[in-house]
Copies of this chain bind each other. A is one copy, B any other.
Amino acid sequence: MSDGDCRDNLIASSLPLFAAKGLNGVSVRELAAAAGVNLSMISYYFGGKEGLYAAVLTDQFAILGKLDELVQRETDTLRKFELYVRATVTRYRKNPYLLRFYTSELTNPTASFETIIKPAIKNVVQTLLDAFADALSHEDFRADLDPADTVLALAGMINFYFLLEPATAELVDHSPERDEELVRHIMDIFTRGVLK
């Protein structure tokens, strides 16, 4: 195995294992075997299992395009929110393990929560709050809405859809072919509501 392959192999093949079982659910032996690498390499390159986990997490978040820049560049206020929803769907499709790390860290936080996950989430929420303030100043939205409740509601609609998939796959069609329709429905409810 040539130089550096070891490190990259470990990160790549640890990703699905950490995502599926969590930090404490996998052993270094399992991780090394999946990478086809000697288990001592984990300590050598990452200083231990937690170091590898942090590297996998850092890697996941580095891949992500800057959602906030994308949203901020858009001028039409309502389209900012649509852009957020659409970009979130694209992210989760391109990166099927990302949401698992988010929710796993939210529920059973490790040391990486404060350093990686929490700042990332706060950043997105703040971007949405800014977009909301923007929308209010342009008088696009009703003035009686609470900013936080509103943006968390939108974020919840799209994120929860993906989170529930393992439980509702037999009840609801979660296939990527329906993504465009999903985005349309969510934006429709967000803007106009469900009533006639």
Contact = CB atoms under 8 A, between A and B. Distances in A.
A44 interface: no
A190 B189 CA distance: 6
Given A156-B161, A194-B141, A182 B103 contact: no
B149 A185 contact: yes
A42 B129 CA distance: 48
A185 B157 CA distance: 14
A107 B118 contact: no
Given A163-B103, A171-B125, A189 B153 contact: yes
A196 interface: yes
Given A159-B160, A163-B106, A164-B152, A191 B188 contact: no
Give the oligomeric copy count: 2
Interface residues of A, number: 62
A172 B119 CA distance: 14
A117 to B, nearest CB: 7
19 contacts: A20-B108, A24-B24, A24-B25, A100-B108, A103-B106, A103-B107, A104-B107, A118-B167, A121-B164, A125-B167, A141-B196, A145-B189, A146-B185, A148-B172, A153-B189, A155-B164, A156-B159, A189-B189, A190-B194
Interface of A: 20-22, 24-25, 78, 100, 103-104, 106-109, 113, 117-118, 121-122, 125-126, 129, 135, 139-142, 145-146, 148-150, 152-153, 155-161, 163-164, 166-168, 170-173, 181-182, 185-186, 188-196
